[in-house]
Structure 1
Amino acid sequence: MAEDITSRFFNVISLFNGTIPFIALQMQALRVGDHNTIVFTKVIDVLKRGLEEGPPPPPTDRAYWEHKGSAATVQLADELLKIAKEFDATLQLSYNKHYIGIFQNGQPLNFCRFAPKKNTMNLAIRLERSDEIDSQIEQAGIEKLSHAQDGAYRLSLQKHDVAKHRDYLKALMKAAYDTFIA
């Protein structure tokens, strides 16, 4: 039985996140003239270790993040969650030591992560880097930080950015969500 390697497969593999070595090969049978041949293509060899390696980060609470960042920047996480709830009403915030993540039905679903600072909110959106998205972010005037180890786009947002770019941020989060759950 043949199966395509989908993003769901990558999500399952990411649960192991480098603790178990994985190599995934895609096999393709071809007929060349009178001969049959098989072509193997390496799809996965090395997985990048991201923020979710090892045991889950220690849980914290909203007060921890309001002290580490500010009440105003934690409120930005609430506003971004409200936007995400427009395409999945079951999403909830999960307060961890290193970031505020997203839970769905009690399980992590970190297609995006939030890191409140004193005056800004760093938003990491797990989307494959593309020139098109880079260009759109630049044209929107949103401050883009370096990519995270797991390849996520990292954006630095101020309060006015969330209101001003609401529809675009929603589109980015929805694309990441769709890719993450596919």
Structure 2
Amino acid sequence: MSPQLVLPKIVNLKGHPTLNERWLQDRLTENPSLLGLGELEVRSSERRQPSGGRLDLLLQNIETSTRYEVEIQLGAVDESHIIRTIEYWDIERRRYPQYDHIAVIAAEDVTSRFLNVISLLNGAIPLMAIQIKGVEVNGAFTLIATRVLDLTTLGTEEEDEGETVDRASWEHKASRGSLRIMDGLTEIVNTIHSGMTPKYTKFYIGLASGGAAQNFVKFRPSKSYVLTEFKIPQEEELSNWLNESGLAIVPYETRYGNYRVRIRQSDLKDHRETLVDLITKARDAYFR
């Protein structure tokens, strides 16, 4: 005898007398895995915001230190729900920059009109949209969450490198003098991590060992200096030390996690010890 097929019944939560937003929020607080975002812990519920209002749920992935700012809405998503979600996400990421933050719109119905709007925002903001449906089966209720909009996947530095070129093209694009500065930096790199050679690509010069990219330091030669990028996680103590080093520091590149310094020929001698420290930190962080 084959098992009996039981058809589920979709329940309109917004119009239900008892399965209201408070009920939904309590269920997600008890079991945040219902959202389909992995194993999360609840950091806070109804989290008061400095600007007024309360964030429905603040969830955190312990392994990755990623936080999710979740705003819940019964019925169809609307403008105020989107704005509120982004506002609370922005407040939390500014208050706690040590975490990665993702805004999550959780609604009973994500209509095509607002899905298009959210998709446009998703290119600039880490934003997800989850549609939550209440379901009744034989008198019991459950929730089904469908991720209708996921995060935009960012490309890697290696994917963005462009075509492989040769040294002559960089000498023409920048100058022979700036390439000599890069040579001096590469020599320092090899005193710390031997076997590294320049890898010339269209947009930057990376490092390689045996043909494999190992870009813990990258070079972007210009006419008179080399913008050098050190792949090191941002730290306040390190940032302060660099700002007092006497080197020409460029603002930190948050997307790829690089400290950036404009290095001239004189820096190879005058600031050699600082450069050795930076390259060592970048190497250690890269191969950690």
Q: TM-score, normalised by structure 2?
A: 0.47
Residue 268 of structure 2 corresponds to 162
DSSP 3-state at the match of 1:118: coil
Once the two structures are superposed, the pairs formed by residues 1-182 of structure 1 within 5 Å of their partners are 41-43=62-64, 49-53=155-159, 56-148=161-253, 149-182=255-288
After superposition, the Cα gap between the structure-2 partners of 1:156 and 1:44, relative to the gap in structure 1 and judged at 3 Å, is same
**Between Structure 1 and Structure 2, how many residues are aligned?**
148
DSSP 3-state at the match of 1:43: coil
Measure the CA separation in 2 of the matches of 1:166 and 1:110: 20
Encode CA deviations 1:4-49: one digit per residue, 9 max, x unaligned.
xxxxxxxxxxxxxxxxxxx88699xxxxxxxxxxx95150667754
The amino acid that maps onto 2:194 is A
* Deviation of the 1:73 alpha carbon: 0.5
Relative contact order, CA 8 A, sep 6+: which one is greater? Answer: 1
Measure the CA separation in 1 of the matches of 2:269 and 2:246: 13
* Deviation of the 1:160 alpha carbon: 0.8
DSSP 3-state at the match of 1:64: helix
* Preserved contact between residue 111 and residue 176 of structure 1 (Cα < 8 Å): yes
Percent of residue pairs identical: 24
The amino acid that maps onto 1:41 is I
- Over the aligned positions, Cα root-mean-square deviation in angstroms equals 2.4
The amino acid that maps onto 1:91 is M
Structure 2 residues without counterparts, runs of 5 or longer: 1-36, 42-59, 67-125, 127-152
Measure the CA separation in 2 of the matches of 1:101 and 1:24: 36
Deviates more, 1:106-115 or 1:170-179: 170-179
Structure 1 residues without counterparts, runs of 5 or longer: 1-22, 28-38
The amino acid that maps onto 1:43 is T
* Preserved contact between residue 49 and residue 150 of structure 1 (Cα < 8 Å): no
Measure the CA separation in 1 of the matches of 2:277 and 2:206: 18
Compare the two structures and name the one with the higher strand fraction: 2
Q: TM-score, normalised by structure 1?
A: 0.73
DSSP 3-state at the match of 1:90: coil
Residue 83 of structure 2 corresponds to none
DSSP 3-state at the match of 2:164: coil
Structure with greater Cα Rg: 2
Encode CA deviations 1:76-124: one digit per residue, 9 max, x unaligned.
1110110010122211110010100000121000001000001111000
Measure the CA separation in 2 of the matches of 1:83 and 1:95: 18
After superposition, the Cα gap between the structure-2 partners of 1:130 and 1:40, relative to the gap in structure 1 and judged at 3 Å, is closer
